[in-house]
Amino acid sequence: MLTDDALQTWGHRNCQPKVNRAFSLVELLVVVSIIALLIAVLVPGLRSARGNAQSVVCRANLKNLMTGTLAYAGFNQDFVIPSYNMRGVTGSTANPFDGWGPILDSGGFVKGSDELKSNPFACPKTLDRAATPFLGSSTPNDNAQGYMDWPAVVTISGSFALTLPKRGFGKLTRVSYWINGDNPTGLPQSFEPGAYFTGSVGYGPNLSGHVMTHNRFSRIKRTGQLIAFADGFYAGKQEATRPDDKNTRIGYRHRSPKETANVAFADGHAGSIRGDQFPRKPGDNVTAEDAQRENTGSGPTLFSDPEHFFDR
């Protein structure tokens, strides 16, 4: 039982008003500053992690495409898949191009989609915009960050997609990767058979009366160095760069010399090439000496037999 003194003490303690202590302005500012500092430190790391994850997916996509391309060759007499099949030298509604994407998709080698999400034919960094091909060094800066739907009618003045059910292409395949091919169009132009990884099978006749045919894997001298696919809807005419910028190769998504382009090689492996080391072919503002230096030796090349090409 509590004594009177104890009751008075208990009552005094429990009847005192409770004081809620608030944060001072200085304390709030300190907390806000700490949060801002954490954000400044963490956000770049998160962006870098996201970019690295996208690059991993991109390289996996490219490796998948190369695996499908090798499987295509196994079923088709060692043929390298064409950039597209065509007749003559120009495209029209009567002469639409199928495209390597729809060929792989319709053959069941790599299943594609007419959307960007979860599509092995599209880099995860692809912007949701249709790009315009074949503009050479005047290609808009962001053009390579978009995509193109195949099959398509492609002309000098423009392009549009359409399905070709009679040829086995009942759907469109959205593509934002580039294939290393010789793809002249519009006028009879010279070409060397099998110079690159692939080409526009059926193009011609050219000025010498030749029609472009399939390349074969057995003709490729350096499969481990030959670039087959690259990260970018349009890598330009391989001899083209931005005016006054020798390090800017048109097309692949990462145009800065410090960035890298993801690529797949003809032997099936995938990797990356720094922007200012991505090889080019001679022409436009790329000298024959620069192209030879970039494509011969132990590094990556655009040519299936670079020594033969440059020594001819």
C-alpha torsion 270→276→279→280, nearest 10: 140
Convert the pLDDT of each residue in 201-239 to its tens digit: 999 998 889 999 999 999 999 999 999 999 876 655 666
Tokens of 47: 């962006």
Task: Determine the pLDDT at residue 170.
Answer: 95
Output the furthest CA–CA distance in the chain (Å, rounded). Answer: 121
Handedness of CA 58, 63, 64, 69 (dihedral sign): positive
The CA distance from 64 to 226, in Å, is 17
The CA distance from 206 to 265, in Å, is 29
pLDDT confidence of 24, banded at 50, 70, 90? confident
β-partners of residue 47 are: none
Convert the pLDDT of each residue in 78-130 to its tens digit: 999 999 999 998 888 888 999 999 999 999 999 999 999 999 999 998 889 88
Residue pair 90/142 in contact (Cβ under 8 Å)? The answer is no
| Tokens 């196994």, residue located | 74
Convert the pLDDT of each residue in 249-291 to its tens digit: 555 555 566 678 899 999 999 999 887 788 888 877 788 998 9
Omega before residue 151 within 30° of 0, cis: yes
β-partners of residue 287 are: none
Tokens of 157: 């003045």
The DSSP secondary-structure symbol of 248 reads: -
> Beta strand pairing status for 178-179 and 173-175?
unpaired
Residue pair 112/103 in contact (Cβ under 8 Å)? The answer is no
Contacts of 18 (CB under 8 A, 6+ apart): none
Choose among 246, 280, 87, 104: nearest CA to 177.
104
